[in-house]
Structure 1
């Protein structure tokens, strides 16, 4: 990835910086249109963020087209509506979780949205909550219920309580009018348009290691997230990470996107707000130690340096950072809020590892490919058709026995052809283009 940006993208950063500082930006460059600004901001989910920073008169007659101004206002209104609706829904849902004896912990956007200068500036596609039965660990902390030495051996007690939690969660979410979209993996997804909740059983799974988006150290570190949190009262209750642990998880979550398809500009705004609101916590020895253990120290330093430079010096940031950080900015601009399919394919083929190049692990990295010197394209298709056992057991549990696994590629191909034919064709074309210039191991 090269360190490329355009006048349009630089102006988008100027708007972000102004918004986060509560001021209006200067006039847009003449060669940039408001339609271009809108499309870029929409792709990176920053439309509501930068709306307050638009120059005087931008939304009025003589500024941008009236239809575009209306779309922009509607996007901001919907973001504010969703944030308020999420708060109301979350309060009602967690009240029922408490009645069922379940504890919960809000994550990600739920927390970060409150750090923005005003409500409705930070878009959220969903609400992430960890839910489970929690008990004292005997050492002043907390653990999943059934996880102790007297739980029945080999973690079976914990699994039993986790199944019970799933049953209660499903009943509660459906009682609140939500439909289950998926109940496998590390979280269950529930929709009641335009609202979407992801109820997590765990924060990171072995399947993500197999896919190359996480490391075994991260799975071990977050196996018991409750140990890192404090309880508001006596369980069942709401748990919260302290700011330091919240920040570590924020970086870990960002790194998973980076290892996969990438992340967009909104992540840099989130990072900047952590840095300016909690400078002592972000710069603490504890955070450095935890990130070092997770292998994310260098990644965090680059992301922090880039975010602060962009948001505090949008016009001269390039002179304040090194080439690796400038390249990271080009990386961020290459896709949208969650990167791009092209980037994900490149990561999977092992052709592009970026800031985490020295830390590949799992079947998602080229170094783990078992197929010898084969064309990258063939190797990529093999992995897509025959995913590692951990992925099958997590996301396709009914196909996990040996015979069913042989038939799974046919099921996956038929499903993709029926539900996402254009996306499947695009993936094959991109994989062919990226793979024809190189070979596997």
Structure 2
């Protein structure tokens, strides 16, 4: 079988193993441009024209290189609609929502946005403006104290705009349930304050904060509240299914996320009725550029509603990792935490008391490593992997043991396991 590896695939032959392949089967693909135009014409909530001041400045926040999205197509559709509303192109700034990831290069921006690359600026997390505060968790924090309100800080190009829009992807997310909506703006164009609070151990330990859940998810509710403070007026988001882009919706951020998440959840769910000795988690580009992102393949599988790996079983992630652990602030913090740890249990216990924004991925990796071995194969950065409490093996078959009952998940980031 062929599994994703970077922008290509790797051939994996497993004739000596009992193999089950987990592939969601639902959904037909749509033409992104036509679907985007239809969504803008029939939005969920107020039309774009009623939210825009033709004489005002517009900020459009888009996803960065770590997301798979036809940003150029979505942006083109929004810009054409803005022009029809009387907004000159010169009044638009496109903000690349980096969060704490590394800045995108000029070549990457041009490749992503095409002829509209000249409108784009990388988000600067150090140049932010406070626009309000969201309520801290009502539960006591790990040190026994109550959390104060949390400042919502947003990048200056967004704070200065009269209208704030975003494009993005509603896809399974470890904490928000599904990404997209307000998350693209308040995390992608925000500061360490909100990232640190929402990604901290107290928030991640709360009931409802889990992969695939939107309703009753405190993480998602905090993002939506912050989006209101930022003034996010309108979004154009899409969701992926097994065959490609499943649907595109536009309009009020909460309604768009709920609509696309419901459709995606139906089409990405795979019933499972037993656990396996080894689970091979396909990732591919752009997520397998860094260890920080590639580990999502393992944690999405292990920490979802239904873990298909038995206790003590192995999670195997083919990942090229051309950028090693990653070069952004969050990626460096992730690497240092894992590199300096002696074992997963002590790291988890230490981080349960708190950590710096960006290091949360080390926290969930440590949580996963308490129950499973994590093996990265076919990588250009085996030393980085071995530094981080994980194992590096040349190929998938080197990570398996004779007689293993193996589950292969070709797209681990877009597969939701449920009880069978």
- How high is the TM-score relative to the length of structure 2? 0.29
Tell me which protein shows more strand as a share of its residues. 2
Q: Rg: which structure is higher? A: 1
Higher relative contact order (CA 8 A, sep 6+): 2
Tell me which protein shows more helix as a share of its residues. 1
- How high is the TM-score relative to the length of structure 1? 0.28
